[in-house]
Amino acid sequence: MKKQQNVLIIGAGLCGSLLALRLGQRGYNVSVYEMRPDLRKTKISAGRSINLAFSDRGSKAIQLVGMGDQVEKLCIPMNGRMLHDEKGDTIMSKYSGREHEYINSIPRGELNALLLTEAEKHENVNIHFNKKCLSVDFEKTTVLFEDYQTKKEFVEDADVIIATDGAGSALRKSYYLANKFLFSFSQEYLTHGYKELSILPAENGGYKTYKNALHIWPRGNFMLIALPNLDGSFTVTLFLSYDEGDYNFNNLTTPEKVTEFFQKEFPDTLELMPNLVDDFFENPTAPLGTVKCSPWHYKGNTLLMGDSAHAIVPFYGQGMNASFEDVVEFDQVLDQNLDSWEAIFETYETNRKKDTDAIADLAIDNFYEMKGHVANPIFQDKRKIEMALEKEFPQDYSSKYSLVTFNEDIGYREAMLRGRAQDKAILNMLSDGLISSSDDLNILLKKITDATNAILEDDKIAGLI
Amino acid sequence: MKKQQNVLIIGAGLCGSLLALRLGQRGYNVSVYEMRPDLRKTKISAGRSINLAFSDRGSKAIQLVGMGDQVEKLCIPMNGRMLHDEKGDTIMSKYSGREHEYINSIPRGELNALLLTEAEKHENVNIHFNKKCLSVDFEKTTVLFEDYQTKKEFVEDADVIIATDGAGSALRKSYYLANKFLFSFSQEYLTHGYKELSILPAENGGYKTYKNALHIWPRGNFMLIALPNLDGSFTVTLFLSYDEGDYNFNNLTTPEKVTEFFQKEFPDTLELMPNLVDDFFENPTAPLGTVKCSPWHYKGNTLLMGDSAHAIVPFYGQGMNASFEDVVEFDQVLDQNLDSWEAIFETYETNRKKDTDAIADLAIDNFYEMKGHVANPIFQDKRKIEMALEKEFPQDYSSKYSLVTFNEDIGYREAMLRGRAQDKAILNMLSDGLISSSDDLNILLKKITDATNAILEDDKIAGLI
């Protein structure tokens, strides 16, 4: 590919700004158009969630663009899940039996700002704010924008257009509405929505509860989680059904009822959140949806990346990591020096889609696991065994969570298939009394490995994988 | 529910006309609006496929409205699949080991005509043709129509609106575009499309090939099928990739290439289809898609039924049967005398959606099985064992195909779970040499039943079903 090609990127969020930086480093002429104002100059929300989980797949992308040190300063390590029961008692469940494996809480806005600044250091990268994409003509490779300041519409063209404009992507909408090719598309909502709340910093500026954990209050049909911020606060998220159960978003309509709900279900949070009722009625309730589609590209003209191609629910903490990994995968395809953008886009989608489909499904699995199973005895036994195996055999065993989160050199699909088979093997052997968490670890490793391989082999013979 | 309620049905296809008849029998005031002319008076296509597979679930619905004898006259029994190999040799693979279990080929147009005539015998049922639904206001319970003859638009209201307007449903589109509630929706296309061809009757008016079978030419990546018609012809369908493989819809652009393709892959069809090239270039190529969505209803105002709620690919021969079964299920909910349309719609969707999701997935499974696996030795061994078990133990064993097709008293989802587990059990035991098709049938039944139950139990413990 000629390096002086003009690439137009729609959206300067996390994926778009990382992509702009990487393509800038590779020498392309990159123009980025973002509908929001520059978040480095205006105090605005950078998107829906204030902080995000950042782990190895995201980190690999950040290393690729040489920003590891800068980004590390924004990270708060979370070594495990701190589970809070109804009485307010807590138990810490580590993410891995390997000490060096943990995830991080990172502020979306600051990370986005760093990426924008780094991208703009390249004179071949230009970022334009307050320019909203109205539609994409994917036959002509042009975009219609509206300038939010002048209120004028204008058209830009480019050699290729890459849309990193998120779950509500204008390009994806153009694909769907144009009806010019067979476009497979799905949007699936959970019955639950979410609302952000907050634990403010202590008066001394410290953290009111344990800093280095992802806090979870699992309650079966709903849950509360909290991630730490650099300023001593925590961003808290309530995941709750819109209309099922005794308490739901549709019937929590008065301060009394909200307080009653938290008093009954999350009593230890009332002291941490004196601001609960204000937050609850000020902040919006938002839906949780999964978007999949195919194809991601139209010929060699346009391509969807990040959430625009594969929006997922947040329960695996992989949304940003998956979008960053898109950039790594795309970069690897660029390294192959294919002879057309169409070949590049086609190869990228073929390599990548199986993995983003997998993380979408894994994220939904984890919704059920987090709100329910973490409190289930057989799942706790499984977790205990897996922690011990990871500690004793760091090279030979990884749980599904570790495969997904800490093994950036295997794809999400492989992590899903192996991880699900392992889970099935362990749960069934525990249930049948064939293993117990007090067994010798060498024997456990062998039994679990053998049973996992047998499950994978059986599924293969039956044509299921 | 008050019987004098006004029900407006959009679409007088197979599902809509059966529903109109049943609701007419129950005493509702039913108005049906259909965009096409009356197919009893005009020679038009009643829809895309000329003939359809009609089996026990559809038959149960036809019995419900008392039309068993009339409909039986339209049926041509197909006792099994007649497989044609590359040399033109054939082998008959029966659908069931039980003699009385077979499927039928039935003409879409004639069946639809019968249903319309029967529905119109009820003075409380009125059917209006040439009225195209443009949009549905599901808040006001009104429909905007265009009269194709006068070109005028008009609005109709009703107590409830039921859309049976097929895979391209206007009501479903209104749900999607209105953005007034969370609407989960998917459309998934296969990489393959289809084209209809025909084997004309013999000069003496008879059938040029065996009448009582569904003919299949399975070729791994593509296939041809043929179903008999009452006039001695067969409707033939080619399922082929749009753009993959040596021959595909995109590159079959000349008579020479089409003939070469059929000569090479389906040599025995050339004699049967002297009209091949004309048919090929006259008939359209159409896509194969699956549509799922939820919710099907909006409050107690509007409801999707049939293909508008769940369009499936044709490979299980269950499209019409599933839509007819919708009417049976809906009728059973009406029998419960619930106190509002909202409760009726909610109950109906809760009962039914799991089953229509299952048949959608089963139909895609069968695409792979029909074009590939039917020619695979291990699948042939499985089929042989299952035929023998069904014959020997008619009360105790049913293959997945029989569970889906001939067991109308269990839902599609139960048929799918048990059927898939059985398939997995048999394929794995065959592959591991634990059973063979020459084993004693009593032992085979016990081994297969035990292994199937173990698979279901393992999946349950792992939370997979």
- Final residue belonging to a domain, choices B256, B287, B318: B287
Q: In chain B, what residues touch A426 (CB-CB under 8 Å)?
A: none
SS3 letters across B80-124? EEEEECCCCCEEEEECCCCCCCCEEEEEHHHHHHHHHHHHHCCCC
Q: In chain B, what residues touch A373 (CB-CB under 8 Å)?
A: 463
B118 backbone dihedrals φ, ψ, rounded to 5°: -65, -40
Do A54 and A141 lie in one domain? The reply is yes
Do B182 and B213 lie in one domain? The reply is no
b/e sequence B306-317, b meaning 16+ C-beta within 10 Å? bbbbbbbbbbbb
CA torsion B9-B15-B21-B23 (nearest 10°) is -60
For residues B6 and A194, what is the distance between their CA atoms, to the nearest angstrom?
Answer: 40
Which among A183, A188, A462 is the nearest to B424, CB-wise? A462
Residue A447, CB-side half-sphere exposure with 13 Å CA sphere: 22
For residues B143 and B174, what is the distance between their CA atoms, to the nearest angstrom?
Answer: 11
Question: Cis peptide leading into A295, omega within 30 of 0?
Answer: yes
Q: In chain A, what residues touch B189 (CB-CB under 8 Å)?
A: 182-184
Do B123 and B178 lie in one domain? The reply is yes
Instruction: For residue B155, count other CB atoms closer than 10 A to its CB.
Output: 11
Is there a domain that residue A86 lies in?
Answer: no
Helix (H) or strand (E) holding A330: helix A319-334
Q: How confident is the model at residue B296 (pLDDT cuts 50, 70, 90)?
A: very high
For residues B265 and B198, what is the distance between their CA atoms, to the nearest angstrom?
Answer: 17
Tens digit of pLDDT for each residue in B242-259? 999 999 999 999 999 999
Cβ contact (<8 Å) for A462 and B287? no
Q: Would the pLDDT of A374 be above 70?
A: no
Is there a domain that residue B195 lies in?
Answer: yes
pLDDT of residue A316: 96
Cβ contact (<8 Å) for A463 and B373? yes
Tens digit of pLDDT for each residue in A227-261? 999 999 999 999 999 999 999 999 999 999 999 99
Tens digit of pLDDT for each residue in B309-351? 999 999 999 999 999 999 999 999 999 999 999 999 999 999 9
Q: Which chain A residue shows the shortest CA-CA distance from B421?
A: A462
Say if strands B160-163 and B302-304 run parallel, antiparallel, or are unpaired: parallel
Do B43 and B147 lie in one domain? The reply is yes
Q: How confident is the model at residue B373 (pLDDT cuts 50, 70, 90)?
A: low
Going by C-alpha positions, the residue among A133, A104, A106 that lies closest to residue A16 is A133
Give the torsion sign (CA, B287, B292, B295, B300).
positive
Q: How confident is the model at residue B58 (pLDDT cuts 50, 70, 90)?
A: very high
Provide the percentage of residues in chain B whose pLDDT is more than 70.
97
Q: Would the pLDDT of A3 be above 80?
A: no
| A151, amino acid identity | K
Which among B182, B185, B428 is the nearest to A462, CB-wise? B428
Cβ contact (<8 Å) for B185 and A186? yes
Q: Would the pLDDT of B2 be above 60?
A: no
Q: How confident is the model at residue B377 (pLDDT cuts 50, 70, 90)?
A: confident
- Final residue belonging to a domain, choices B343, B367, B391: B367
Mean pLDDT of the residues in chain B: 95
What is the number of domains present in chain B? 3
pLDDT of residue B44: 67
For residues A141 and A414, what is the distance between their CA atoms, to the nearest angstrom?
Answer: 35
Contact B407, B415 (CB under 8 A): yes
pLDDT of residue A334: 98
Q: Which chain A residue shows the shortest CA-CA distance from B420?
A: A462
End-to-end C-alpha distance for chain A, whole angstroms? 36
Do A380 and A321 lie in one domain? The reply is no
Cβ contact (<8 Å) for A463 and B368? yes
Going by C-alpha positions, the residue among B166, B173, B159 that lies closest to residue B299 is B159
Axis crossing angle, helix A441-461 with helix A412-431, rounded to the nearest 10: 120
Own/partner long-range contacts of A143-150 (Cβ < 8 Å, ≥24 apart): A143/A8, A143/A10, A143/A33, A145/A33, A148/A35
Percent helix, strand, coil in chain B (nearest 5)? 40, 25, 35
Is there a domain that residue A339 lies in?
Answer: yes
The Cα of B190 is separated from the nearest Cα of chain A by a number of Å equal to 9
Give the torsion sign (CA, B118, B119, B125, B126).
negative
Is there a domain that residue B88 lies in?
Answer: no
Is there a domain that residue A401 lies in?
Answer: yes
Per the structure block, which two tokens stand in for B339?
């106190």
Q: How confident is the model at residue A45 (pLDDT cuts 50, 70, 90)?
A: low
Best residue in A461, A464, A465 to probe B by mutation, most B CBs within 10 Å? A461
ipTM score of complex: 0.90
Contact B353, B296 (CB under 8 A): yes
Number of A/B CB contacts below 8 angstroms equals 66
For residues A132 and A116, what is the distance between their CA atoms, to the nearest angstrom?
Answer: 18
Least confident of A51-60, A327-336, B455-464: B455-464
Which among B183, B431, B458 is the nearest to A424, CB-wise? B458
Q: In chain A, what residues touch B461 (CB-CB under 8 Å)?
A: 424, 427-428, 431
Cα A383 to its chain centre, rounded Å, is: 23
Angle subtended at Cα A249 by Cα A247 and Cα A255, rounded to the nearest 5 degrees: 75
Tens digit of pLDDT for each residue in A126-145? 999 999 999 999 999 999 99
Do A128 and A213 lie in one domain? The reply is no
Do B298 and B356 lie in one domain? The reply is yes
For residues A456 and A464, what is the distance between their CA atoms, to the nearest angstrom?
Answer: 9
Tens digit of pLDDT for each residue in A12-22? 999 999 999 99
Is there a domain that residue B92 lies in?
Answer: no
- Final residue belonging to a domain, choices B287, B313, B329: B287
pLDDT of residue A464: 84
Q: Would the pLDDT of B457 be above 50?
A: yes
How distant, in Å, are the alpha carbons of A253, B30, B136 from that of B19?
A: 41, 9, 19
Is there a domain that residue B357 lies in?
Answer: yes
Cβ contact (<8 Å) for A431 and B187? no
Axis crossing angle, helix B319-334 with helix B56-64, rounded to the nearest 10: 40
Q: Would the pLDDT of A207 be above 70?
A: yes
Is there a domain that residue B311 lies in?
Answer: yes
pLDDT of residue B46: 47
Q: How confident is the model at residue B47 (pLDDT cuts 50, 70, 90)?
A: very low
Q: In chain A, what residues touch B242 (CB-CB under 8 Å)?
A: 182
Do B244 and B304 lie in one domain? The reply is no
Cβ contact (<8 Å) for B186 and A187? yes
Which among A183, A427, A458 is the nearest to B461, CB-wise? A427
For residues B306 and B19, what is the distance between their CA atoms, to the nearest angstrom?
Answer: 10
Axis crossing angle, helix B14-25 with helix B108-120, rounded to the nearest 10: 20
Do A257 and A295 lie in one domain? The reply is no
Cβ contact (<8 Å) for A287 and B182? yes
- Chain A positions touching chain B (beta carbons under 8 Å): 182-189, 242, 287, 289, 368, 373, 420, 423-424, 427-428, 431, 458-459, 461-464
Q: How confident is the model at residue A401 (pLDDT cuts 50, 70, 90)?
A: very high
Q: In chain B, what residues touch A461 (CB-CB under 8 Å)?
A: 424, 427-428, 431
Tens digit of pLDDT for each residue in A49-80? 689 999 999 999 999 999 999 999 999 999 99
Which among A189, A420, A424 is the nearest to B184, CB-wise? A189
Summarize the confidence of residues A21-34 as an average pLDDT: 98
Mean pLDDT of the residues in chain A: 95
Least confident of B77-81, B101-105, B309-313, B460-464: B460-464
For residues A65 and A68, what is the distance between their CA atoms, to the nearest angstrom?
Answer: 8
For residues B424 and B416, what is the distance between their CA atoms, to the nearest angstrom?
Answer: 12
Instruction: For residue B336, count other CB atoms closer than 10 A to its CB.
Output: 11
pLDDT of residue A13: 97
How distant, in Å, are the alpha carbons of B60, B93, B409, B415 from that of B329?
A: 11, 32, 11, 17
Q: In chain A, what residues touch B183 (CB-CB under 8 Å)?
A: 187, 189
pLDDT of residue A371: 77
- Chain B positions touching chain A (beta carbons under 8 Å): 182-189, 242, 287, 289, 368, 373, 420, 423-424, 427-428, 431, 458-459, 461-464
Q: Which chain B residue shows the shortest CA-CA distance from A286?
A: B182
Do A352 and A394 lie in one domain? The reply is no
CATH of the domain at A51: 3.50.50.60
Cβ contact (<8 Å) for A462 and B423? yes
Which among A184, A427, A463 is the nearest to B188, CB-wise? A184
3-state secondary structure of B166: coil
Q: In chain B, what residues touch A462 (CB-CB under 8 Å)?
A: 420, 423-424, 427-428
3-state secondary structure of A34: coil
pLDDT of residue B3: 55
Residue B420 domain boundaries: 376-461
Do B128 and B23 lie in one domain? The reply is yes
Do A322 and A416 lie in one domain? The reply is no
